[in-house]
Amino acid sequence: MDPEKRGKLERYFRNADRFMWGVIPGDKRTVFTTLRTVLKELGEDSALIPDPKKSTYAVVIGNLLGKIGVESILTEIVAKQVRRQFTDRTGVIDFLRAHWMSGTLPRWQTLQSLRAPRTITRKFLDAVDSKDAPAKRQQTSDILDAFVEANNQYSYVRGWTVFAGLWFEELEPLLREAVVQHDS
């Protein structure tokens, strides 16, 4: 990867509105635990991800960039998480890409039908949350939330996230390029 592109992708990673664009659903503890597991699978030191109570996302970002680099973060963690979460929902990423490329937004009803089934915990938390409370940005509960911004209160899709553009315009071509280079 050329230095200019590497620098641009590092800035996207550092300045993401959600840690790793929200591709790992859950709260900080869940995200850090998942990252430790992923690092172990990659043969990396899981100590790069300190205790969530004693660390910040900025520290983890610095650790990951310093040790494994942005290209590995994007190809070995982010891309694999996206693909893993879409494994049992074939065609969803193609559906999203088609809408992205055509400049349209998916319909709310269609998007809801593509979501992963909610867990009992998620159903309980949704029931406990007051619908009258002001809308606040929640952690990602489904990988679709990393791609589209939806208004749950009024049941409509607001728009695409920054990650959607990054994924379709930068990461997918980078991943195809990596596959071609690996096969050569």
- pLDDT, tens only, 107-136: 999 998 988 776 666 556 556 654 544 444
Residues 6 or more apart whose Cβ sits within 8 Å of residue 44: 67, 68
Residue 99 contacts residue 108 (beta carbons within 8 Å): no
Residue 157 contacts residue 108 (beta carbons within 8 Å): yes
**Structure tokens given for 180:** 């071609």
Residue 156 contacts residue 108 (beta carbons within 8 Å): yes
Length of the chain counted residue by residue: 184
Render 61-115 in DSSP notation, one character per residue. Answer: HHHHHHHTHHHHIIIIIIHHHHHHHTTTSTTHHHHHHHHHHHT-PPPHHHHHHHS
**Parts of the chain with a pLDDT under 70:** 118-140, 180-184
**Structure tokens given for 134:** 């002001």
pLDDT at 184: 55
